[in-house]
């Protein structure tokens, strides 16, 4: 930790998207100048399996040459409608609704982990642990394990444990649960009116199981839970990210936002306020998938906030230490 400069510490807090299927000036800028802690792959970055592996290897090599810690390289490979890697080069799965038992869950995670590791990806933004409500056409109906929180807990932990046993970091999402919502947070910010007590007997059960199973990361939702925090969505909330997830539920791993380019955030908050809230809430990584200007501004604002505020500086150092601790155990890939 003491070997990282202020600029490097700020960069470690960023997980970013980029354009292109091979190493290019854009990616070199993100790694070398913004010193980002991780990159996320979308369909726009995916060529053949060899292309993807070369891209990941070259990105990691560039990070090493720039004196940076290893990169977290993430992807959304849930199966079903959210799977960046497709046949014929990769195994396609039906997603959570098609997982009927623990054996199915373990098979999905085992094969997915092998395929991700083979191309140099080390983090999967999965599993979805959102619990739906019966007879309500929620936004997550086609991506969840269903409306039984205990079943979601069992199958979700099977995915988590199998991914991580096979050297892929698992990220449970979208805390504290968006199975109740019908509005898409890509467009605007949904509202949940349930109390904490109501969430604890339904939505939070799979996340508590994930924490017990040692899940590496938890992704926060862009939902306003008005009984928990009437001002800030979960992804920017001290009462939710710090008080509930870390203190009450005891999670000590990586906490990350969902994509800050989504309408739920951009339509309601200015970037400087967003960055301040992230730092204050003990959230470790900021996900920005598309907006290059926002990436550069976030990088500058993180540095400014931790320079100006000793409390935020201390919290940021703790976040960076959590990130580096995870990175110590990443598998090394070779061209």
* pLDDT tens column, 193-233: 999 999 999 999 999 999 999 999 999 999 999 999 999 99
Residue 214 lies in a domain: yes
Cβ pair 284, 242 in contact under 8 A: no
Residue 17 lies in a domain: yes
Which position has the token pair 């199981």? Answer: 209
**pLDDT band for position 188 (cuts 50, 70, 90):** low
pLDDT for the residue 266? 79
pLDDT for the residue 244? 98
Query: Is 290 among the catalytic positions?
Result: no
Q: Which of 203, 229, 258, 284 is catalytic?
A: 258
Residue 332 lies in a domain: no
* Residue 45 pLDDT exceeds 70: yes
pLDDT for the residue 180? 84
Alpha helices in the chain (DSSP H): 6-12, 25-28, 49-65, 102-119, 149-165, 196-200, 205-212, 263-266, 271-280, 292-308, 310-327
Q: How many CA atoms lie within 13 A of 219 on its CB side?
A: 25
Cβ pair 236, 175 in contact under 8 A: no
Find the CATH number of the domain harbouring 148.
Answer: 3.20.20.300
Q: Which residues contact 261 (CB under 8 A, 6 or more apart)?
A: 288, 289, 290, 291, 294
Q: Which of 50, 150, 186, 329 is catalytic?
A: 186
* pLDDT tens column, 121-164: 999 999 999 999 987 777 888 999 999 999 999 999 999 999 99
Residue 117 lies in a domain: yes
Residue 271 lies in a domain: yes
pLDDT for the residue 183? 56
Q: How many CA atoms lie within 13 A of 215 on its CB side?
A: 34
Domain of residue 259 covers: 6-326
Cβ pair 145, 205 in contact under 8 A: no
Q: Provide the β-strand partners of residue 26.
A: none
User: How many structural domains is the chain composed of?
Assistant: 1
Query: Is 258 among the catalytic positions?
Result: yes
What backbone torsions phi and psi does residue 4 show, to the nearest 5 degrees? -90, 135
* pLDDT tens column, 78-137: 999 999 999 999 999 999 999 999 999 999 999 999 999 999 999 999 999 999 998 777
| Nearest alpha-carbon partner for 70 in 79, 60, 78 | 60
* pLDDT tens column, 246-293: 999 999 999 999 999 887 787 889 999 999 999 999 999 999 999 999
CA distance 231 to 36: 29
The number of residues in the chain equals: 335
| Nearest alpha-carbon partner for 258 in 27, 21, 17 | 17
* Residue 185 pLDDT exceeds 60: no
Eight-state DSSP code of residue 234: G
Q: Are strands 38-41 and 72-75 parallel, antiparallel or unpaired?
A: parallel
Mean pLDDT over 9-29 rounds to: 97
Cβ pair 203, 179 in contact under 8 A: yes
Q: Is 281 exposed, middle or buried (0-12, 13-18, 19+ CB in 10 A)?
A: buried
Residue 222 lies in a domain: yes
* Residue 332 pLDDT exceeds 80: no
Residue 79 lies in a domain: yes
Q: Residue 197 is encoded by which pair of tokens? A: 């007590």
Residue 249 lies in a domain: yes
Eight-state DSSP code of residue 22: S
Which position has the token pair 């301040």? Answer: 276
Q: What is the DSSP string of 37-99?
A: SEEEE-GGG--SHHHHHHHHHHHHHHHHHTTPPPPEEEE-EEETTEESS-TTTS-----GGG-
């Amino acid at each position: 930790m003491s070997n990282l400069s202020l600029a490097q510490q700020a960069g470690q807090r960023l997980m970013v998207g980029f354009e292109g299927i091979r190493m290019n000036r854009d990616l070199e800028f993100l790694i070398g100048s913004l010193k980002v802690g991780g990159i996320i792959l979308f369909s726009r970055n995916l060529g053949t399996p060899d292309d993807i592996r070369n891209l990941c290897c070259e990105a990691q090599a560039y990070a090493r040459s720039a004196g940076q810690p290893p990169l977290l390289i993430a992807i959304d490979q849930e199966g079903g409608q959210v799977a960046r890697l497709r046949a014929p080069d990769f195994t396609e799965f039906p997603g959570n609704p098609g997982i009927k038992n623990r054996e199915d869950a373990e098979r999905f995670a085992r094969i997915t982990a092998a395929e991700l590791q083979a191309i140099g990806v080390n983090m999967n933004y999965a599993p979805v642990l959102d619990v739906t409500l019966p007879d309500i056409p929620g936004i997550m109906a086609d991506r969840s394990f269903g409306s039984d929180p205990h079943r979601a807990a069992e199958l979700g932990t099977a995915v988590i444990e199998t991914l991580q046993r096979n050297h892929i970091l698992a990220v449970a999402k979208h805390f504290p649960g968006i199975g109740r919502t019908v509005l898409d947070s890509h467009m605007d910010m949904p509202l949940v009116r349930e109390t904490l007590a109501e969430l604890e007997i339904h939505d939070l059960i799979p996340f508590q199981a994930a924490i017990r199973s040692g899940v590496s990361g938890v992704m926060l939702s862009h939902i306003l839970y008005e009984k928990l925090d009437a001002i800030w969505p979960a992804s920017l909330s001290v009462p939710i990210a710090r008080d509930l997830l870390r203190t009450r539920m005891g999670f000590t791993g990586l906490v990350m936002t969902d994509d800050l380019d989504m309408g739920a955030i951009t339509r309601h908050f200015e970037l400087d306020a967003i960055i301040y809230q992230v730092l204050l809430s003990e959230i470790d990584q900021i996900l920005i998938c598309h907006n290059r200007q926002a990436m550069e501004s976030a990088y500058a604002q993180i540095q400014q906030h931790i320079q100006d505020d000793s409390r935020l500086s201390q919290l940021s150092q703790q976040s960076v230490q959590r990130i580096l601790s995870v990175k110590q155990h990443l598998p090394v890939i070779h061209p």
